A and B are shown apart, each in its own frame.
Chain A
């Protein structure tokens, strides 16, 4: 029976604890998103607010979107 030891920290529990805080999301590509986490689902699609998008390669800050975004969890790495 492969049951995780209950004393380990579950990753989705940690994400849940971050609801309401500003978090930094790193995508598979050279893109990073910083925003306030409003919520997420089983697929770790995320709803964020007051978002800033950073592209690492051209070395510059990109778009700042407010009014909530839905971030597709398919490309999230960390």
Chain B
């Protein structure tokens, strides 16, 4: 019989819950509890290269976000992978969960010198 995968083999961690074992109750729990970031400034990166930061006002299980006082960080037009100093204020936005690739708190983030620069020998 082509059964519902080998749930018993997955041990430990957040996977070992009752909901995973039964095939009818496929309840996907979020691995990141966003409620701890509510009313805090977060940085969000999107598929396509856009980056923004703002205050998290709301979210859903699909990772759609509501950000307030949003600032979009603009990329260098010649090199889309390089951030410039330019920013654009976007106000109250909804971020599509399908486009979100990274969420991190602004508190604890800092820019550092490039650690990957090759040393001249």
Contacts and interface: CB of A to CB of B under 8 A. Distances in A.
Interface of A: 1-2, 4-5, 8-15, 26-29, 44, 57, 73-74, 76-78
Contacts of A8: 35, 38, 57-59, 66
Interface majority SS (helix, strand, loop, mixed), chain A: loop
B70 to A, nearest CB: 8
B10 interface: no
Contacts of B48: 27-29, 77
The 4 closest A-B pairs by CB, nearest first: A28-B48, A9-B58, A11-B64, A8-B58
Nearest to B58: A9
B99 interface: yes
B90 interface: yes
A52 to B, nearest CB: 17
Contacts, number: 78
B66 A14 contact: yes
B57 A78 contact: no
Most buried by A among B38, B58, B95: B58
B118 interface: no
B22 interface: no
B66 A11 contact: yes
B77 A57 contact: yes
